[in-house]
Chain A
Amino acid sequence: MTTQTIDRPTLGTQRPWWMLPALVVVLSVLGLLAYGLMARGRGQLVDGPAPDFTLQSFAGEPVTLSELRGQPVILNFWASWCRECDKEMRLLESSYQRYQDEIVFLGIDYIDTEDKARAYLEQYGITYPNGPDLGSRIANDYRIKGVPETFFIGKDGTVRGVHIGPLAQADLEAWIEQLRNE
């Protein structure tokens, strides 16, 4: 018995020209979706360089974070409508009064109205620099999940940690001790 090879007719294996642009479009859309998911899932900022910003304080003086290099910074996000923030404002002010020569305290007012923010600061007798987060840029850079949130930044300008929710005295003192002893 002899073996014979039979040539089958070709069945159009050549890809149409529009496959490439269609593939590019599909990949672009998938890439954007992936970027969006990754941006959303970046999570809390707990270490690394503290994002720089310039805060225009309610007192009218600009405060730039990078110019504070060499001093530890306690960065507190708050809002006048935030009832949880009430619990830590006096503690922050008393700590500022005690450690203002060693540690910089900064307050960032998140999604608020200026009149209410000023009234709130006056109500709690806050004297450390505070200012509005215009355009929510600082909050976005620090990826806050809500208020209150407090970031602890070392002398070298890197984030040492974050506290979510109102600070208890023991927590704040522990952070202050860590920042002072670095």
Chain B
Amino acid sequence: MNDFRQPHLFLTLLLLSALWFGLPTPTYAQEPSDTPTVNDVAGDLYCPLCTGQTVDVCALEVCADMRQIIAERLAAGESPEQIKAHFVEQYGPQVLGKPSTEGFHLTAWVIPFIALGGAAMALFLWLRGRPTPARATHPIGSDPSADAYHAQLDRALERLDD
């Protein structure tokens, strides 16, 4: 009897232990940290040698160097803004991935809004100028100028027939 049950017991224990170890480790809510990490700062900076890649994911040597400098400066107590300003001074404003708000570059910020506003206004005025069914109070063809035109046309045709 025992010999018959033992394999079942063994398999049950094996299954339970597999389920236990297979369960995901419970995670607990953490308090949000105010301390910026290297990736927080690196994620806001763009690789100065490639296009559209942020420093936190860029594999180039220069980006690895930038991450190291970020870590050193954070450890020294510098703010993310100070660190970003350092890289702008070193490599230029392109590391911020957006045009500056000074001089000619300001147009890059202003023009899209002007264009959008202009397009919205043009669309609004165009829609407003279109005749809507509710506003069409008299049937098509009752326009006095069109009537006069048709009458004139009929008279001309009659004369032609004569």
- Residues of chain A having any CB pair with chain B under 8 Å: 1-2, 4, 6-9, 16, 18, 21-22, 25-26, 28-29, 32, 79, 81, 111-113, 116, 132, 134-137, 140
Q: Is the interface of B mostly helix, strand, loop or mixed?
A: helix
Closest to B153 in A: A6
Q: Are A18 and B62 in contact (CB under 8 A)?
A: no
A-B residue pairs in contact (CB < 8 Å), sample of 14: A2-B159, A6-B152, A6-B153, A9-B148, A21-B118, A21-B121, A22-B121, A26-B115, A112-B62, A134-B89, A135-B90, A135-B91, A135-B92, A136-B92
List of B residues within 8 angstroms of A1 by Cβ: 160
How many chain B residues touch the partner (CB < 8 A)? 36
List of B residues within 8 angstroms of A79 by Cβ: 62
Number of A-B pairs, beta carbon distance below 8 Å: 70
Which listed residue (A4, A29, A81, A111) contacts B91, Cβ 8 A?
A: A111
- The yes or no answer to B125 lying at the interface (CB within 8 A) is yes
Q: Are A136 and B62 in contact (CB under 8 A)?
A: no
Q: Smallest Cβ distance from A7 to chain B, in angstroms?
A: 7
The CA-CA distance from A132 to B66 in the complex, in Å, is: 15
